[in-house]
Amino acid sequence: MTEILKISGLIGGYIPGVNILHGIDLELHQGESVGIIGLNGSGKSTLGKAIMNMIPYREGEVVFEGNFITHLSTSELAQHGISIMQQGGQVFRDLSVWDNLQLSFGDYKNNAYISELKSIIPILGVPKKNLKARMADKLSGGQRHQLALAMALARKPKLLILDEPSAGLSPRSVEEMYGILEAIRSEMKVTVMLIEQNISKAIGYCDYCLLLGQGGISHRFVNKNINEIECVMFKK
């Protein structure tokens, strides 16, 4: 399989002198779905933000499709084919649903791709006049997550980073979200890095999972045995 992302010796964190990531090494291959799991504070979301250059890292290299990307901004990374759906379904709440989508899609006019997204993400199938009239802060949690996902997919990324896509959702909305993600994986062939606290969803969705502990990758799980994974995580 073709390597799409390679991270070597990544060290960094939010505060100068305080590192959360301690020498992350990993490789992703085209078409894979990899889960990043771990306890709270293990560095899962920090890893996603570091890849997107949303936080500084002090050492290490990130290579995407053979090119170093450490100097690129988040918006430039989106243009190169890497996108992130941030935790909590972050959208511009003071804008309409339509305006949120317009900001993300911009002048991207691939009508066939947009039609494909509409067939997968329910909120995109709503009539345009309703999207223009509906403010993002009036959406339900599940709808807001759908909007955030649509925005992350707007430029047809090659690598999609999902940061806790089930966080804060009702059980019904979690099932709906993962139904959408399954369709994205099977129909769009995008490489996915899934950062997830919900272990059962992560192992069910991903080809394999990487366990983060104390800022580094401690285990790789290929099997789907949740009891084994929890025993390692919680040292039962």
- Integer Rg of the chain from CA: 18
Q: What is the DSSP letter of 15?
A: B
**pLDDT, tens digit (0-9, with 9 covering 90-100), for 129-150:** 888 999 999 999 999 999 999 9
Dump pLDDT digits (tens) for 179-235.
999 999 888 889 999 999 898 999 999 999 999 987 789 888 887 677 777 777 777
Q: Is position 165 within any domain?
A: yes
Task: Give the tokens for residue 226.
Answer: 């949740």
Q: How far apart are the first and last CA of the chain?
A: 36
Give the model confidence (pLDDT) of 37-74 as tens digits: 998 888 999 999 999 999 888 899 999 999 999 889 98
- Look at residue 42 and tell me if it is in a domain: yes
Answer whether residue 236 shows pLDDT above 70.
no
- Whether 17 is in a domain gets the answer no
Quick check: is 1 in a domain?
A: no
What per-residue confidence (pLDDT) applies to 176?
A: 93
- How far apart CA 87 and CA 202 sit, in angstroms, is 15
C-alpha to C-alpha distances, 102 to 14, 82, 91, 126, 147, nearest whole angstrom? 31, 19, 12, 15, 12
Whole-number Å distance between alpha carbons of 76 and 185: 24
pLDDT band at 105 (very low <50, low <70, confident <90, very high): confident
For the chain, give me the number of helices (H) and strands (E)? 9, 10
Percent residues over pLDDT 90 in the chain: 54
Secondary-structure breakdown of the chain: helix, strand, coil percentages, each rounded to the nearest 5: 40, 30, 35
Structural domain boundaries enclosing 168: 31-53+73-234
CATH number at residue 105: 3.40.50.300
Alpha carbon distance 162, 201 (integer Å): 13
Encode pLDDT of 146-173 as tens digits. Answer: 999 999 998 889 999 999 999 989 999 9
Q: How many domains does the chain have?
A: 1
Using an 8 Å Cβ cutoff, are 167 and 201 in contact?
no
Q: Is residue 25 part of a domain?
A: no
In a domain, 67, yes or no: no
Residues written for the chain: 236
pTM for this one? 0.92
Q: Would you give the distance in Å from CA 110 to the centre of its chain?
A: 22
